[in-house]
Structure formats: C-alpha cells, structure tokens
C-alpha cells in the first residue's frame, strides 16, 4: 500500500515567509537535489553564506525546510526540504493585500523556474536516450467544464500524481537510470471571467 503524501494548507503568514525569490529557489533546489549546507547553496546561487543561512532559518521558521540529521559533522549544518505538498487556497490569499503580493511573488518565481527547466529539456532532449525522449510528453488539452467539474478533474489528477510520487519515494526507485521527472499540471479556465 502506498502512503499518502502529506499535504499542508498555507495561510497568508506562512506564504509571506517564503515570499522571497532566493527562498523560493532554495526550497526548490532542496526538493529537487536533496540536502545541502548554506555554503553549498551560496555557491550555487552566487550569494553569501550569511544570506543563504538567514533565508534557510526563515524557511525553517515557516516549516518549508528542516535540519537534516543524516548529514553533517560538528558545526556543519545540512538542510533538507520538508516532505509533502503545500496547498494554497487562492481565494483566501486574495482577500489580503500582503497575501496577494506574496502569492504573486511565489507563483511568478516558481513559474520562472519551471519554464527554465522546460527550456533546458527542449534544448537538450537529443542528448537523452530514446526511452527518455519517447517517454516525455508535452500536450495541451481543452475541455468544456463547469467550475465544480474543473475542481473534480484537478482532485482526480492530483490523486494519481500523489500516488506515483509516494511510490517513487520507495526503495525500488534508486539506481543509475532513475532521474527526477518534472510533472506540470495546469488547470485553469480561459475566456471572460465568470
């Protein structure tokens, strides 16, 4: 049986805690590449270790990262992304000016990072072996749905993805031919706002 992926609903205060471009990038890198020290992150982002250390502490205060007890010796402190999926209820955040600003900043930065990774794939896919190239997909569907149907579709697709992500955390997914796989799920209405 596959364990459920932990979900955490973010409130305005918590989202404000991550609403800084460097914090978004730090959390994203720890999620994708695993634990790191403030010094390693500083080198990766061209920042000072003091800056990355400060942002790591802010991320930890709001539950986005945590110390990694499996790494480090002595004064060397390693950090890892906290597991799980962070849920944002957009309507709640739009009621508050600070929430709107935080949502915009975090969304913009995550979208920029995602676009950057997609462009890297498109530029380098010929370097990958045939099974990886043929297993990738870039498709856009259009469906005529009501708001409730759209939410049902979102929930069903998220459940399928959550199940695969949870299975991917198991021992059978280690090895030289296993890679991180980007899964983009965008569900939104188009046309005039209702």
* Secondary structure (3-state) at 85: strand
- d(CA 105, CA 20) in angstroms, rounded, equals 7
CB 4 within 8 A of CB 166: yes
pLDDT of amino acid 172:
65
Which strand (E) or helix (H) includes residue 150? helix 147-168
pTM for the predicted model, two decimal places: 0.82
Q: Are residues 164 and 82 in the same domain?
A: no
Which positions ≥6 away from 162 have C-beta within 8 Å? 4, 5, 85
What CATH number does residue 76 fall under? 1.10.10.10
Q: How many residues does the chain have?
A: 194
Whether the CB-CB separation of 137 and 121 falls below 8 Å is answered with no
Do 103 and 14 share a structural domain? yes
In a domain, 71, yes or no: yes
Q: What is the pLDDT along the chain (194 residues), one digit of tens a residue?
A: 344 667 788 889 999 999 999 999 999 999 988 999 999 999 999 999 999 999 999 999 999 999 998 887 767 899 999 988 888 888 888 888 999 999 999 999 999 999 999 999 989 999 999 999 899 888 888 999 999 999 999 999 989 988 888 887 766 667 778 888 888 887 777 777 66
pLDDT of residue 1: 34
- What residues are paired with 117 via a beta bridge? none
| 189 within some domain | no
Q: Is 192 within a domain? A: no
Range of the domain at 159: 143-172
Mark residue 175 as left, alpha or beta (left: phi above 0; alpha: psi -120 to 50; beta: remaining): left
Are 89 and 4 contained in the same domain?
yes
Shared domain check, 89 and 153: no
Q: How many domains does the chain have?
A: 2
For residues 124 and 133, is the Cβ–Cβ distance under 8 A? no
Nearest of 42, 19, 41 to residue 29 by alpha carbon: 41
Burial class (CB in 10 A: 0-12, 13-18, 19+), 129: exposed
Structural domain contains residue 129: no
In a domain, 186, yes or no: no
Same domain membership, residue 101 and residue 35:
yes
């Amino acid at each position: 049986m596959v364990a459920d992926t932990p979900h955490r609903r973010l409130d305005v205060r918590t989202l404000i805690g991550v609403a800084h471009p460097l914090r978004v990038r730090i959390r994203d890198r720890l999620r994708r590449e695993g634990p790191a020290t403030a010094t390693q992150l500083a080198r990766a982002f061209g920042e000072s270790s003091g800056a990355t250390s400060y942002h790591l502490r802010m991320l930890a205060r709001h539950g986005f990262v945590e110390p990694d007890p499996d790494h480090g010796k002595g004064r060397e402190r390693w950090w890892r992304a906290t597991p799980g999926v962070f849920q944002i209820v957009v309507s709640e955040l739009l009621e508050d000016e600070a929430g709107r600003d935080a949502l915009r900043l975090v969304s913009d930065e995550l979208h920029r990072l995602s676009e950057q990774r997609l462009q890297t794939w498109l530029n380098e896919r010929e370097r990958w072996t045939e099974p990886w190239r043929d297993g990738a997909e870039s498709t856009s569907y259009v469906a005529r749905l009501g708001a409730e149907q759209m939410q049902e579709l979102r929930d069903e697709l998220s459940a399928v993805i959550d199940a695969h992500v949870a299975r991917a955390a198991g021992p059978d997914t280690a090895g030289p031919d296993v890679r991180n796989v980007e899964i983009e799920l965008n569900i939104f209405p188009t046309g005039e706002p209702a």
